Structures are given as C-alpha cells and as structure tokens.
Structure 1
C-alpha cells in the first residue's frame, strides 16, 4: 500500500482560563466544552483513488478544546478536606510550560495537559487563575522569619473578586499569653497575633488581620472592576517558630457571577442546606480567639427555604466569645455593645418552637448562646430574616475575669456554629 501527499495538522485554540473547585463551593468556569471537537476537511485538489497502485488521500484534522478547569494528579495531603487533588487548567503542553505551570495529568481526551500553577517565592506576581500560593520550601515549614509577600493580578479584565482557600494555614497564633503587672494591669492582651497574615485591596473592603491555625477556612476579596486592580498578600513573623506553613488556592471570579458574594460585604460565604463555620483560629483548644475582628459570614438562602437555625458545634467551648465572669451570668443585650459579640439579625427562639421567641435580640456575647437574658443554657437560634448572615466582632482588650483581674478559668476560644435551613 502506497501513501502519497499525506497531511496531518493539529490546531489547538486557547481561550480564557477558568478554575473548577473540586469538593467545595462551585467556582465559575468559562466555556462548557471539555471534549475535543474534530472536523475533517479536504485540502487542494487531492482525491482519494482506489487502484492497484495504492490509496492517495489528504486529511486536515482540527482539534479544539477549551482551557477549562481540570482535576490534576497532583495531590494535597492534610488540607481543609483531607487528601485531595489540586485543580488545574487545561492547556497544551507548550502553553503550560510557557505560562510557568507544571503538567500533572492529561485532559481534553489526551490532547492537553492539566496544568497546575504553584507559587512559592516571596515577591511573586500571580497571574494565572487557580494558582496555589505556598510558603518557600513547601511542604517543609518555613525556617526563616523573613516577611513574605505576593501580588495577585487579574487573569482577565472581567474579574471582580478573588476567593482564597486555605488548604493549609499554620502560623503563630496569640500564644494565649496574659501577663499581669504589679498593678493588676494586663501587659500582653490575649488575642493579639504574634505572626500576622494581611490581605489588602483598593476597594476599601474591611479585611481583618488573622493568624494561628486556619486550615479549611476561606475568604473573599473584592478587588474592584478596573483591569489594573490587584490584591496584596503579606505574612509577617515575630521571632523563631517551626510551625509556619501554608498553601492558599487563589480563584479569580468574574463580575456578577451567580452564586458568589461579589460586592455584598461577605468575607466568607457558605452554600448548602447544612454546614458549619468557625471564627478564625478556633482550631487550637489552648489559644484565644483573635482580637480586632469585624466581618460577616454569609449563607446563601436556598430555594424553598425561609429560615435558618444556628446551634453550637459539639466541640468544647464552641461559644466562648467573651468569658468575662460578669457576662457569664447575665447576658443583657445592651452589655454586648462594649465587649466581644456576634450578631444574628432577627434572632429568636428555635425554629422548632422549643424555645420562647424573644423579638429584637440580635447580639450575643458571654459563654452561652441564648436569646433570653439571665439564662444559663445554650439553645438554637432561629433567623427568618434574609439575607442570612452572622457578624463577628471582637475588640482589642483582653478577656479577663473582673474580680480578681486574672486569666479566665477557660479560654475565649471563639465561635463554632452549625446551621440548617428550614423549609418555608
């Protein structure tokens, strides 16, 4: 058999990259085609001829695939959801290398590679969607106390916000340090971060400084509508430590994307009929919640559901937002204005009717979650006033017992709440 004038051409078309979050809240992806599209075209005047001399033909193959999200073979161990695969973007092998990524598996029926973007060096500029920012020498802990910073640039002018997922996040927390001077004045208020992580944008969004153990947490950043808008991430350290390690997934989200809290003032956003959330640095049982926090945790209202019920997690001290001894006995709402508290607008008794509603009570402090004053038991809180959100506020002062002003008998660990949405 003789082949004459055989032509094979492979063309790949690249479009804007997008990220698909696996095992968590869905992220936007641009384009819907993930399988290659084939088209055959004849070229020139070549003809297919059947003869004893052989077969003469011409074939022009075009293979197209979107640069959509893909699941790579690169794995995360011990992250927010346990062992899982990192997300990547489908590119050709050459495109992946030219953009600074690493091929980890195939996509588009083998015509592309799942390209993973890992960034470690301080001062790096992150330009690709679905990038992973990691400490230098990851997966080993950071062995220096040098400040680390990153700049996130938009991968496309249509991007308005970012989601940061803390796959691994471990830096020094507050240290649970409360020294008392001879005049009974606290020298080192608990809740003040030793190490710090800060995120800054030019939209005026209030983003709290955090520290400690925050693996599994996430935050949304409103970066603005200008193509030149960026976000800055900074780690600053205090002294030597061997527990500094992080891996943060950065997802870029276009403006007006359905199902995302763009421009609504939510630092955190949860979906689903049930779930759990905590204040930052709740994970360790021997450290304090963080000082100077002022942010909102929002839950998307699902179709056909009109109320949401919050209850304490089974973890110890799941509501220890301010363990001042005076507030542990009496929780008059007006007293919550001058201490640490959470706000649940429209809060009242349980949605099941097991507790007596108390209209107008929306601030909760002390060490008990209860809409009634002078009560010593934790009860669920029902909220039928959408949008559903819980505001976290902590001040800059130490949670100390009043008489004598010494350390509290239990830590001010923070807040851990479970929620379930109630049908209309």
Structure 2
C-alpha cells in the first residue's frame, strides 16, 4: 500500500498543475476543467462573474442541449490584433485547455480586463479568455461593451423575458478605456481595425413566420458599412463579416441586438465569438462580402437552413448579400457548387417555386406552380434567387431556349430550365462571389399566383445548402 502513495502524490500534483495552467485554483479542480469560483457562480444564481464558463447543459437551458459548433469556414480566421502598445498584452492565443480564442496578457491585466486565464503563453503570460454575459433581466450586472479582440458574447443563464431586447456595443476606438489604472494609460493601437467577424458558435431564437419574416425574435446589426440583414431561427456554425471605417481615423461603434417577441415558450441561446481584423490583415474579406470562405472546400448555407424533417418555411425574407470565396493560387481557377446530401425530407435547394403559364379559353391564362424542378425560364427568378455569374452545368450541356446562366431558383439547382434533377454548377468568373436575394414575403404579388401557391401549402421555401470547391 505504501508503494502507491508516491504515485498518488504525483497524480495530485499533476491535477494542481493542470488546474493552475488552465485557470483553476487547485482545490477546485474537476474533470470538466471548471475551477472553484465557477462552481460557486453556478451554485448561486445571484452571484455573477465575468469569467464564468459557458455551460450548454446549464439547468436554465434544459430545452437546449447542444455544444458549441465549429464555424462554417473551417479554415478559421486570424482576427488577432498584432500588438497593443502597452506592457500587459502581446497578441492573440488559443487556449490549450478549452480551445477557446483569447489574448496573451499578464495575469494582472487579464484580471483588470475581467478575463479568465486558460492556458499559458510565452514569457509567463496567460491566455486570457474574455466572456460577456448579458440580458440578465436586471438580476445581475455585466459589462455590455466589448473592447477586446476574441471576446465571447453569451446569452443569459436564466430565461429571457419576452417582448424585450438585449444589446452589446463593440467599441472600435483607437484608445484603451480610461478605467485601466497606471501604468496602463490610454494609448493608440498599433494596428487599426477595418472588419469585425462574428462566429455564431451557438445561435437559436424563434423561427420566421409563414411569410418567411422574422416577426418574433430577430438579430440585427447597426454601424456596419456593408449590408447586414436581420436574421432569426437556427444559425449554429454561421458567420458574418462586418465592415467598418478604419478605426485609427474614424472610430466606430457596432451595435449588436437581439429583439425578442411576445412568445414565452421560445428557446433563446447564443454564444458569439467577436474577432477584430486589422486593416493590413491578409484575412480581410473582400469589399461588400457578408460571408467569406477561405478554404478550398466546405459548405455554405443560407441563414436558418437546417437538415430537419418538415415542410415549414425556413428561408428568411429580405436577404440581400454577397457570399465570397477565396480563389485558389493556381490556374485554372474555378468555383463549383453542388447541393448538399440531406438525411431528412429537407430540401437542399428551395428558392421560389417556379410558375408556368397555362393558356385557357379565349384570352385567359393561369399561372400554376411547378414543384421539384429548376427555374422554368431565364426570366423566372424575380423574387427569391441566387446569382452565380457565368454559371454552367458541370456536364456543359448544349444551350436550349430560355437557358439561365446567372440566376438560379426553383427547387433544383440546374442551368437547364424546368429540369427535375440538381447538378453541379461551376463558374470561372473571378472574383468568386455569389449573390443571394429574397423579397419581403413568401408569396408572389400576383393574386392568381398567390391563389395557386395557397393550393400547395406544403411548398414553403427552405433556402439552400451547397458544398463548394475552389
């Protein structure tokens, strides 16, 4: 028995060492890496800490049990600020303990910034993870302003009140806040910021209504120079690039807001990584791009698309933005898009059911929907559609009358009109950019067409899920 004692001591010391390196306290070490202070925070809901770990299985989230998901762009983004000109900061980092992104700081500066040490950096610095919890409905007090790169904005640990809102300000000022005491006076950044990337690790609020409008809950952005549509529903793994003026010359505040409808039964939860991208970074998205994919392969989805069973509308109204892809460094350059493989009854491509005109008696005619086919003609996509400049079928079929090369809609992705099979669409037109547009509702403006659409209520638009290869 005595021979086991030294081994037990070794394991105990390793536990203390791991806990210390990952932000723990030794005595509070546990298998899930939470420290003692975090345990106190969860046991007493009235106690709140800015470094509280986000817990997807928190009892207040009993209806939403999920884990943070990887962003759509699996290649990631280097959203780091290269250097802050004060002694407590040396750059960005990723925690070896949790995988979270943070900032390399000395432990004192991390504490002053309200962060949580998780792992270590060079020269004795710690990887400081900054988390902001807000929307606590007055029961707790947290900062509602973000000044640090690599900050996680997480939803409240308690149910959110209906008919309320929750906002967070991202300050892109060229100076540190005056609250930092000496020896850290406000000083200018070395590297100005020109873009902010939002990674929706977790994002779920209410679904759109039958007209595809986010009439209950919705998320909105103010202060960006590019077009940012309001979104709702399920958006785990999605991302956005917010373009802003150069922070060194025109400091700008971004306002991120969740607005909640009157329903009291919705599941509302989010965990958003906010990354600030310097003006000289090679990772900047091209001008006007809301989404930017830098990997050679991957998947792009419209907001709220999800592989789930059901016929309800998932497409969102009033979407008008560009999706961009980084071209390969070699020639020939080509972007190809293929509808995803689904495991449920969900449609991988569903944008505006096309209509065909059927001649009637004398001068009358009727528009009737044509489900499960591509656009009927080149002028058919006027409501909801994507534009793939110079697109062509991978098989490169011979042109036929009304063949559409730029606009795509219907329920099959195909350049050939009224085709009942989806295929791969490619383009060589650079820069690689796809435009996505939806109108203000789910129905057409023609009363005859509306009546025809109402005759097939199961035909709600779903948006699209496309695998890409560059």
Give the deviation of 1:386 after TM superposition. 0.5
Per-residue CA deviation, residues 232-269 of structure 1 (Å, 9 max, x unaligned), is 1010011213410001000001114213215x110000
Q: Are positions 1:268 and 2:268 aligned together?
A: no
Give the deviation of 1:406 after TM superposition. 3.9
Q: Are positions 1:206 and 2:206 aligned together?
A: no
Give the deviation of 1:193 after TM superposition. 3.9
Gaps of 5+ in 1: 1-20, 33-63, 76-84, 178-188
Q: Are positions 1:223 and 2:274 aligned together?
A: no
Secondary structure of 1:68's counterpart equals: strand
Quote the residue 2:185 is aligned against.
none
More off after superposition, 339-348 vs 356-365: 356-365
TM-score (structure 2 length as normaliser): 0.67
Contact 1:142–1:245 (8 Å) recurs in 2: no
Secondary structure of 1:403's counterpart equals: helix
Quote the residue 1:371 is aligned against.
415
Give the deviation of 1:347 after TM superposition. 0.7
Contact 1:341–1:392 (8 Å) recurs in 2: yes
Match of 2:125 among 105, 112, 115: 112
Give the deviation of 1:302 after TM superposition. 1.2
Count of residues in Structure 1 that have an aligned counterpart in Structure 2:
341
Give the deviation of 1:70 after TM superposition. 1.8
Give the deviation of 1:405 after TM superposition. 2.1
Contact 2:277–2:283 (8 Å) recurs in 1: no
Secondary structure of 1:277's counterpart equals: strand
**Distance in 2 (alpha carbons) for counterparts of 1:144 and 1:374:** 45
**Distance in 2 (alpha carbons) for counterparts of 1:381 and 1:243:** 37
Per-residue CA deviation, residues 21-76 of structure 1 (Å, 9 max, x unaligned), is 996423144559xxxxxxxxxxxxxxxxxxxxxxxxxxxxxxx996222222564x
**Distance in 2 (alpha carbons) for counterparts of 1:141 and 1:318:** 33
Match of 2:454 among 387, 405, 420: 405
Match of 2:467 among 411, 418, 422: 418
**Distance in 1 (alpha carbons) for counterparts of 2:160 and 2:275:** 24
Gap change, CA 1:27 and 1:202, over 3 Å in 2: closer
Secondary structure of 1:67's counterpart equals: strand
Report the RMSD for the aligned CA atoms in angstroms.
2.6
Q: Are positions 1:343 and 2:387 aligned together?
A: yes
Quote the residue 1:245 is aligned against.
269
TM-score (structure 1 length as normaliser): 0.74
Per-residue CA deviation, residues 164-212 of structure 1 (Å, 9 max, x unaligned), is 000100100115x3xxxxxxxxxxx234442100011153x21100000
Secondary structure of 1:97's counterpart equals: helix
Contact 2:145–2:170 (8 Å) recurs in 1: yes
Per-residue CA deviation, residues 196-231 of structure 1 (Å, 9 max, x unaligned), is 00011153x211000000010000001212342111
Per-residue CA deviation, residues 87-114 of structure 1 (Å, 9 max, x unaligned), is 11111110101112111222216x1111
Q: Are positions 1:87 and 2:101 aligned together?
A: yes
More off after superposition, 316-325 vs 292-301: 316-325
**Distance in 1 (alpha carbons) for counterparts of 2:89 and 2:119:** 16
Give the deviation of 1:409 after TM superposition. 2.6
Quote the residue 1:171 is aligned against.
205
Quote the residue 2:338 is aligned against.
311
Quote the residue 2:437 is aligned against.
393
Quote the residue 1:130 is aligned against.
150
**Distance in 2 (alpha carbons) for counterparts of 1:251 and 1:238:** 28
Quote the residue 1:25 is aligned against.
76
Gaps of 5+ in 2: 1-70, 136-142, 175-188, 356-368, 445-449
**Distance in 2 (alpha carbons) for counterparts of 1:245 and 1:74:** 24
Gap change, CA 1:404 and 1:374, over 3 Å in 2: closer
Higher strand share: 1
**Distance in 2 (alpha carbons) for counterparts of 1:319 and 1:141:** 35
**Distance in 2 (alpha carbons) for counterparts of 1:199 and 1:307:** 33
Q: Which has the larger radius of gyration?
A: 1
